Protein backbone atom coordinates (compact mmCIF):
# COMPACT_ATOMS: atom_id res chain seq x y z
CA UNK A 1 0.00 0.00 0.00
CA UNK A 2 1.41 3.34 -1.00
CA UNK A 3 1.20 6.52 1.05
CA UNK A 4 -1.53 7.86 -1.23
CA UNK A 5 -3.59 4.70 -0.71
CA UNK A 6 -3.20 5.02 3.06
CA UNK A 7 -4.36 8.64 2.98
CA UNK A 8 -7.36 7.76 0.81
CA UNK A 9 -8.33 4.88 3.11
CA UNK A 10 -8.10 7.18 6.12
CA UNK A 11 -10.19 9.88 4.42
CA UNK A 12 -12.81 7.35 3.33
CA UNK A 13 -13.04 6.13 6.92
CA UNK A 14 -13.31 9.59 8.51
CA UNK A 15 -15.35 11.47 5.91
CA UNK A 16 -18.79 9.92 6.64
CA UNK A 17 -18.55 11.04 10.27
CA UNK A 18 -17.40 14.52 9.32
CA UNK A 19 -20.17 14.93 6.75
CA UNK A 20 -22.77 13.60 9.17
CA UNK A 21 -21.64 16.10 11.81
CA UNK A 22 -21.70 19.04 9.39
CA UNK A 23 -25.05 18.19 7.80
CA UNK A 24 -26.70 17.46 11.15
CA UNK A 25 -25.38 20.72 12.59
CA UNK A 26 -26.74 22.70 9.64
CA UNK A 27 -30.12 20.98 9.91
CA UNK A 28 -30.18 21.63 13.65
CA UNK A 29 -29.54 25.34 13.10
CA UNK A 30 -32.33 25.48 10.50
CA UNK A 31 -34.93 23.68 12.61
CA UNK A 32 -34.15 25.38 15.93
CA UNK A 33 -32.92 28.74 14.59
CA UNK A 34 -34.44 30.82 17.39
CA UNK A 35 -33.25 28.62 20.22
CA UNK A 36 -29.72 28.21 18.83
CA UNK A 37 -29.26 31.80 17.68
CA UNK A 38 -26.28 32.36 19.98
CA UNK A 39 -24.55 29.05 19.21
CA UNK A 40 -22.11 29.22 16.28
CA UNK A 41 -22.55 26.69 13.49
CA UNK A 42 -18.88 25.70 13.56
CA UNK A 43 -19.15 24.64 17.21
CA UNK A 44 -22.10 22.38 16.50
CA UNK A 45 -20.37 20.92 13.44
CA UNK A 46 -17.15 20.16 15.33
CA UNK A 47 -18.95 18.50 18.22
CA UNK A 48 -21.11 16.42 15.89
CA UNK A 49 -18.24 15.40 13.63
CA UNK A 50 -15.92 14.42 16.48
CA UNK A 51 -18.63 12.34 18.13
CA UNK A 52 -19.50 10.56 14.88
CA UNK A 53 -15.86 9.80 14.06
CA UNK A 54 -15.28 8.47 17.59
CA UNK A 55 -18.35 6.24 17.25
CA UNK A 56 -16.99 5.01 13.93
CA UNK A 57 -13.66 4.12 15.55
CA UNK A 58 -15.40 2.32 18.40
CA UNK A 59 -17.55 0.45 15.87
CA UNK A 60 -14.48 -0.61 13.93
CA UNK A 61 -12.83 -1.95 17.07
CA UNK A 62 -16.01 -3.65 18.34
CA UNK A 63 -17.11 -5.31 15.09
CA UNK A 64 -13.73 -5.86 13.50
CA UNK A 65 -14.66 -4.25 10.19
CA UNK A 66 -15.89 -0.98 8.80
CA UNK A 67 -19.41 -0.40 7.53
CA UNK A 68 -21.52 -2.31 10.04
CA UNK A 69 -25.08 -1.06 10.37
CA UNK A 70 -24.75 -0.91 14.15
CA UNK A 71 -21.77 1.42 13.69
CA UNK A 72 -23.81 3.82 11.56
CA UNK A 73 -26.60 3.72 14.14
CA UNK A 74 -24.08 4.53 16.86
CA UNK A 75 -22.70 7.38 14.73
CA UNK A 76 -26.17 8.92 14.43
CA UNK A 77 -26.85 8.58 18.15
CA UNK A 78 -23.45 9.99 19.11
CA UNK A 79 -23.87 12.93 16.73
CA UNK A 80 -27.35 13.71 18.10
CA UNK A 81 -26.11 13.53 21.68
CA UNK A 82 -23.16 15.79 20.89
CA UNK A 83 -25.40 18.33 19.18
CA UNK A 84 -27.70 18.34 22.18
CA UNK A 85 -24.70 18.83 24.48
CA UNK A 86 -23.13 21.59 22.37
CA UNK A 87 -26.39 23.39 21.57
CA UNK A 88 -28.49 23.28 24.68
CA UNK A 89 -26.55 22.00 27.65
CA UNK A 90 -23.24 23.80 27.14
CA UNK A 91 -24.09 27.45 26.59
CA UNK A 92 -21.18 29.87 26.59
pLDDT along the chain (92 residues), means of 10: 94 96 96 91 96 96 92 97 89 58
Say what the pTM is: 0.90
Q: Which helix (H) or strand (E) holds 53?
A: helix 41-63
- Cα separation of 92 and 86, whole Å? 9
pLDDT at 66: 87
pLDDT at 92: 54
CA dihedral of 20, 53, 61, 59, whole degrees rounded to 10:
-30
pLDDT at 67: 86
Amino acid sequence: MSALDAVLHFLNFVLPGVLLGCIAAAMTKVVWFRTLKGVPLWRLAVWGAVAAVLASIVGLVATGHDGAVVTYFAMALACAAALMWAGWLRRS
